[in-house]
Structure formats: structure tokens, C-alpha cells
Amino acid sequence: MSVLLHVCCGPCVVMPLEDLRERGFDVVGYFFNPNIHPYMEWKNRRDSAQDYAQRVGFELEVVPEYGLRRFLRSVVGREDDRCGFCYRWRLERTAQRARERGDEAFSSTLLVSPYQDREQLVAVGREAAAAQGLEFLEEDWRDCFREGLRRARELGLYMQKYCGCIYSEEERYLKKKPAKEQPRGGQG
């Protein structure tokens, strides 16, 4: 079965790619991540994914558009649902590309991260698959997340510190503040 695998970064592709290949899938990667900010972070993640793909003989299609402006315009005022928009945009685009390529299924390396909302990802993936007449491989690779990071470190791949969008970067820093410095009324 041919599978288009949405790739968010180099470290996250390690274990999903290995699993899919071991199970006999013909896998091509698809790097489409317009949510990542700033540009150099996007570039580092793209380069890391390309580096890994080259090392393991993995075809990786990279969408060259940065896309930050559309992402920000779409989530301003709806920041609490930004992940839903982000999942939908990336998975719908991946499903569309999979159909164009003639693939039978698609999936995403986002499913390896314990920090992502798996239920929401799966729901969005199923909807995108149904709209394109494809299968969504809703694998649960979270149990191999740490092993993938370990291997990525050994390979010297770029290791990011946050999900990718400007809001997740902000949350990364806010969570490090002592509780007494948190603004009243919650976590911001």
C-alpha cells in the first residue's frame, strides 16, 4: 500500500517511518507545516527532515511555501482552537496531495507526539480521508516517542523545543515561570 506521510520534523519521522516500512508500506514523506514560527525554526525543521530523508533513502516532498500569514490570520481571535485549525489545514492538504499522487492512504508523524491531541488528530484525519476517498492510518506511535528522540540525537538532527507555532513557543516560556509569577485568573 502506498502511503503519504505528513512529516512535521526530522525527529518525529524516525519511528513512524521505520514502523511503516517494516510493515511493508511504500512511504513517501510530505513536509507541509505553515504554522511553524519563526522562519528559521521552519527552515531548521525542514532541513532536519530532508537530512534524515537523505540518510535513510526516504523520498520527501517539501512544500516550499512558508504560510505563516495565512495561519496567523486564521487563528487570531481563536487561539484556543488553533491546534484544531492547524491539524485540519495540514491533514486536509496531505490527503489532497495523496489523492493527487494516487496513494491509497496517508498518515502523520504528529501521531508520535504525546504532546498532541490524538483524539482531535484522528477525527480530523478521518474526515480528510473520507473527503478524498482514502484511508487514514491512525497509528498510535506515542510509545516509541522517546526512542525516536534518542535516535535523532544520535544522528545529530535538529531538536526543537516547542510544537511550532508562536503560541506554543509562548506557552513554553510561560510554563517555566514560577507559579507566583503567573497572572491571576489562570494560565493566561
Tens of pLDDT, residues 80-139? 777 787 899 899 999 999 999 999 999 999 999 998 999 999 999 999 999 999 999 999
Is the per-residue pLDDT at 188 higher than 70?
A: no
Selected residue with higher pLDDT from 24 and 80: 24
Domain boundaries, the chain: 2-181
- Residues 123-142 as b/e (b if ≥16 CB within 10 A, e otherwise) read bbbeebbeebebbbbebebe
Confidence class of residue 73 from pLDDT cuts 50, 70 and 90? confident
The class of domain 2-181 in CATH terms is: alpha beta
Distance CA 24, CA 2 (A): 9
Question: Closest by alpha carbon to 90, among 7, 175, 176, 173?
Answer: 7
